[in-house]
Amino acid sequence: MAQDSEKLLSILKLQPVVPVLIVEDVASAVPLARALVEGGLKAIEITMRTPAALDAIRAVANEVEGAHVGAGTILNAKDFEAAVKAGSTFIVSPGVNKSVLEAAKGSKVPLLPGAATASEVMHLRDKGYKVLKFFPAEQAGGAPYLKALSSPLADVVFCPTGSVSLKNAKDYLALPNVVCVGGSWVAPKELIAAGDWAGITKLAAEAAALRG
């Protein structure tokens, strides 16, 4: 089964910036997600990098109205299935392997797979994937690299993630092959630790106002 691009795009097009979150404490997940949604960022990626990640996804999925929670840093089928079971509405991987692609085949939850080179993009395109994560964005060539791909691979669109910030987000969003960007700057660790949800809502509102 090819990627459900329509379902994935309906989520990614909700906003110009998808927050990429590392949640250390599940108790912060719900107020953090509510702050982001209040600021206009409804699609939220919680990365599977901490022991709290699955519980955080489950809590946001169950308790935060208006949120579309996804799971990031999915590296294998086991994590894919666990994230779906926890309530993820989309799955994000930094690259691709057979395990993740096989899990995606049998799932109703769409996969946003990562690619960093033209060859990787072509490989995924051949498998029916036309909405990709460009990662690590800045390190892999940044906006100029994606612009160069827009002509030969015109039917593929990207969500660049990796050292994307308020400063350079507009460079990506101005490109015809970029649907949104992923970024962690909207939820800094220090604001999460301080419980400064109003501060995060303000950053989210600034990000939501970005346009290409």
What end-to-end distance do the CA atoms of the chain give, in Å?
32
- Spot the catalytic one: 24, 45, 167, 190: 45
Question: For residue 138, which amino acid is it?
Answer: E
Active-site position among 65, 85, 133, 167: 133
Check if 202 is active-site. Answer: no
Tokens 């309906």 belong to which residue? Answer: 10
Strand order through the sheet with 90-92: 111-112, 90-92, 68-72, 43-47, 17-21, 181-183
Distances (CA, A) of 64 to 30, 57, 67, 143, 210: 7, 10, 6, 33, 24
Active site residue 127: no
For helices 53-63 and 29-38, give the axis angle rounded to 10 degrees.
50
Cα distances from 197 to residues 59, 109, 142, 145, in angstroms, run: 17, 29, 31, 35
How far apart CA 189 and CA 210 sit, in angstroms, is 22
Contact 195, 54 (CB under 8 A): no
Q: Which residues are tagged catalytic?
A: 45, 133
